[in-house]
């Protein structure tokens, strides 16, 4: 196998629209070019949005199968109950809804290449079928007993650590080693240095043509900030950034301060941009994280409604109710001292260590805050979330205005902790 020259790598970049000159990127392209003429199975690894599909196209186009079909399949997007049918086909009547026989992708792409993206999401049963195809070129349609043959080259990709998945029993070890004949690592954007500026320039030029505006130019400080930013969403995130700035900015020369407004703040907890360590990425997908956040929010809201109604109906928030909903108060900065006797019916929802005199001296604004929430929950059940949020925001704005944006006193007036008030200000995007 001969060495790939720099001019050949440059030619491939131009052909497939790949921008950049980082050593890691060039090495990945070189491996793809060397593996293309062979029949070896290739496993492409890299973070989501790093451009793994482009390498599958390089491998197919430069192979002897270039005149055959090429199909890209996202294994994570196909439901577990239908993925066998999608990949291997099915016979008529093999399951409910199978009104006629169907050819699967492995039969359709006979003589070509198939790209299996997110291979780590493939069910174990389907993995066994795939292993048989890789070893013998054989498969069986769903609902059939007839063994069929296919000549398909498999190119797989994943953004998770498959070895970790093997250890946890989520991925077959024999399939992993069968797929990993030729490994190709596509570097994340943060490891590509000045390639980030080149890509940004390419995207802004494209968007200037699309929106009929002048291209964006970055100052030197802005370029430095762009290169330093980690870009957890990789090329997709950079492209979205370029489109936003191209469309929204009136000034065509972007300063570092202007660019900083478009970049997510460090420590952002938004599920969309979440990226943990390599191990964390192996354990959770973005979809799982988003589901967890939504379910937790729904659970907390339901329990909060129950807490408010129970305290309202019982005439106060006593110790038995507090203990029943104790998990709502676990993140309080100050400890909660449970009292056996009933306290005033106007006690705020978020508990703090307050003296009896402080509770009785609570302002009318705090009482209005609680009473309006209770009224919305009990009388506007069908559309309570919007009305509660609207009135809660209004009350917070009034409290901040009354106390000249001093959060400590505004929180006391509302009857909530300063930490909770800070979270609400962020939630409603209140400008102080």
User: What pLDDT score does 26 carry?
Assistant: 95
User: Does position 341 have pLDDT exceeding 90, yes or no?
Assistant: no
pLDDT tops 60 at residue 199: yes
Q: Compare 302 and 355 and report the one with higher pLDDT.
A: 302
pLDDT tens digits, one per residue of 118-145: 999 999 999 999 999 999 999 999 999 9
Confidence of residue 411 (pLDDT cuts 50, 70, 90): confident
Same domain, 162 and 216: no
CATH of the domain at 222: 1.10.8.60
Q: How far is CA 213 from the centre of its chain?
A: 31
The answer to whether residue 103 is domain-embedded is yes
Residue 385 predicted with pLDDT over 80: no
Q: Same domain, yes or no, for 350 and 410?
A: yes
Q: How many domains does the chain have?
A: 3
Burial pattern 133-159, b for ≥16 Cβ within 10 A else e, equals bbeeeebbbbbeeeebebebbbbbbbb
Q: Are residues 171 and 244 in the same domain?
A: no
Whether the predicted pLDDT of 116 surpasses 60: yes
Q: Which tokens sit at 40?
A: 């070896």
| Tokens 């006193």 sit on residue | 409
Between 276 and 221, residue with greater pLDDT: 221
pLDDT band at residue 96 using 50, 70 and 90 as cut-offs = confident
Pairing of strands 147-149, 138-140: antiparallel
Do 311 and 321 touch, CB atoms closer than 8 A? yes
Residue 307 or residue 162, greater confidence: 162
| Contact call for residues 29 and 59 (beta carbons, < 8 A) | no
pLDDT above 60: residue 106 = yes
Does the pLDDT of residue 264 top 90, yes or no? no
Instruction: Report yes or no on 267 lying in a domain.
Output: yes
* Lookup result for tokens 């402080």: 358
Residue 432 CA to residue 425 CA, distance in Å, equals: 9
Radius of gyration of the chain (CA): 29
Q: Do both 329 and 409 map to the same domain?
A: yes
Q: Report the pLDDT averaged over residues 99-112.
A: 93
d(C-alpha 387, C-alpha 380), whole Å: 8
The verdict on 37 and 87 lying in the same domain is yes
pLDDT of residue 1 exceeding 90, the answer is no
Residue 176 forms part of a structural domain: yes
Residue at token pair 């002897």 = 64
pLDDT of residue 428: 80
Which pLDDT score is estimated for 332?
42
**pLDDT class for 81, splitting at 50, 70, 90?**
confident
Overall average pLDDT of the 95-111 stretch: 90
pLDDT digits (tens, 9 = 90+) for 351-375: 344 444 444 444 455 555 555 555 5
Band of pLDDT at residue 400, cut at 50, 70 and 90 = confident
What local confidence, expressed as pLDDT, does residue 373 receive? 53
In a domain, 279, yes or no: no
Boundary (domain end) residue, out of 169, 187, 205: 187
Distances 282 to 49, 101, 155 between C-alpha atoms, Å: 16, 37, 20
In a domain, 130, yes or no: yes
Residues 245, 323: one domain?
no
Question: Long-range contacts of range 354-362, CB-CB < 8 Å, 24 or more positions apart?
Answer: 362/415
User: Is 1 contained in some domain?
Assistant: no
Same domain? For 373 and 310 the reply is yes
Which tops the pLDDT comparison, 290 or 279?
Answer: 290
> Is residue 278 situated within a structural domain?
no
Q: Residues 12-46: pLDDT tens digits?
A: 999 999 999 999 999 999 999 999 999 999 999 99
Residue range(s) defining the domain that contains residue 420: 287-427
Is 228 part of a structural domain of the chain? yes
The tally of CA atoms less than 13 A away on the side-chain side of residue 355 is 3
Given a contact cutoff of 8 angstroms between Cβ atoms, the answer to whether 77 and 117 are in contact is: no
Residue 336, pLDDT above cutoff 60: no
**pLDDT band at residue 319 using 50, 70 and 90 as cut-offs:** low
Domain's final residue, options 166, 187, 208: 187
pLDDT tens-digit readout, 42-66: 999 999 999 999 999 999 999 999 9
- Where residue 169 falls (left for φ over 0; alpha for ψ -120 to 50; beta otherwise) is left
Helices (H), 180-219: 195-211
Q: What is the pLDDT of residue 175?
A: 96
Query: What is the pLDDT at residue 94?
Result: 83
Looking at 163, 187, 211, which one is the last position of a domain?
Answer: 187
Q: What pLDDT is stored for residue 412 in this prediction?
A: 82
What confidence tier does 422 reach under pLDDT thresholds 50, 70, 90? Answer: confident
Q: What does the DSSP 8-state code read for residue 316?
A: S
Mean pLDDT along residues 363-390 = 55
The whole-number pLDDT of residue 350 equals: 38
Q: Is 430 helix (H, G, I), strand (E, B) or coil?
A: coil
Residues 340 and 409 both lie in one domain = yes
Given this model, what pLDDT does residue 153 score?
A: 96
End-to-end Cα separation, the chain, in angstroms: 65
More confident residue, 61 or 289: 61
Domain identity same for 370 and 248: no
323 lies in the same domain as 358: yes
- Same-domain status, 217 and 246: yes
Exposed, middle or buried by CB within 10 Å (0-12, 13-18, 19+), for 186? buried
CATH of the domain at 42: 3.40.50.300
Q: Residue 281: is its pLDDT beyond 70?
A: no
Considering only residues 374 and 82, tell me which one the structure prediction assigns the higher pLDDT.
Answer: 82
% of the chain surpassing 90 pLDDT? 52
151 and 34 in a single domain? The answer is yes
Average pLDDT over residues 299-309: 67
Strand partners, 70: 113
């Amino acid at each position: 196998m001969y060495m790939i020259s720099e001019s050949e790598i440059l030619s491939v970049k131009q052909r497939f629209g790949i921008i950049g000159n980082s050593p890691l990127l060039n090495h990945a392209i070189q491996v793809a070019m060397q593996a293309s003429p062979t029949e070896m199975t290739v496993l492409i690894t890299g973070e989501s949005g790093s451009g793994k599909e482009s390498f599958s196209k390089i491998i197919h186009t430069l192979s002897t199968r270039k005149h055959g079909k090429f199909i890209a399949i996202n294994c994570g997007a196909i439901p577990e109950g239908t993925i066998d049918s999608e990949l291997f086909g099915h016979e008529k009547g093999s399951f409910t809804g199978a009104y006629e026989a169907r050819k699967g992708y492995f039969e359709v792409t006979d003589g070509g290449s198939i790209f299996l993206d997110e291979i780590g999401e493939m069910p174990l049963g389907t993995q066994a079928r795939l292993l048989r195809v890789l070893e013998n070129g054989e498969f069986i349609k769903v609902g059939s007993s007839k063994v069929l043959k296919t000549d398909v080259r498999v190119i797989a990709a994943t953004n998770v650590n498959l070895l970790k998945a093997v250890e946890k029993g989520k991925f077959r070890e024999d399939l992993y080693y069968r797929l990993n004949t030729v490994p190709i690592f596509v570097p994340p954007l943060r490891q590509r240095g000045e390639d980030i500026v080149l890509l940004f320039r390419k995207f802004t030029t494209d968007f200037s043509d699309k929106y009929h505006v002048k291209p964006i130019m970055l100052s030197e400080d802005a370029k430095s900030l762009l290169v330093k930013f980690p870009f957890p969403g990789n090329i997709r995130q950079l492209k979205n950034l370029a489109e936003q700035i191209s469309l929204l900015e009136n000034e065509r020369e972007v300063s570092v301060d202007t660019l900083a407004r478009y970049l997510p703040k460090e420590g952002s907890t938004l599920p969309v941009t979440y990226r943990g360590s390599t191990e964390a990425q192996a354990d959770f997908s973005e979809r799982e994280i988003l589901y967890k956040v939504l379910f937790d929010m729904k659970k907390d809201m339901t329990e909060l409604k129950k807490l408010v109604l129970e305290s309202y109906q019982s005439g106060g928030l006593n110790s038995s109710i507090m203990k029943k909903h104790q998990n709502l108060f676990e993140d309080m900065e100050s400890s909660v001292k449970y009292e056996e006797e009933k306290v005033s019916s106007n006690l705020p929802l978020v508990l703090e260590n307050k003296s009896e005199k402080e509770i009785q001296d609570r302002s009318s604004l705090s009482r209005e805050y609680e009473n309006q929430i209770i009224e919305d929950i009990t009388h506007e059940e069908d559309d309570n979330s919007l009305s509660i949020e609207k009135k809660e925001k209004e009350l917070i704005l009034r409290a901040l205005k009354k106390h000249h944006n001093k959060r400590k006193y505004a929180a006391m007036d509302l009857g909530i902790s300063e930490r909770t008030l800070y979270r609400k200000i962020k939630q409603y995007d209140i400008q102080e």
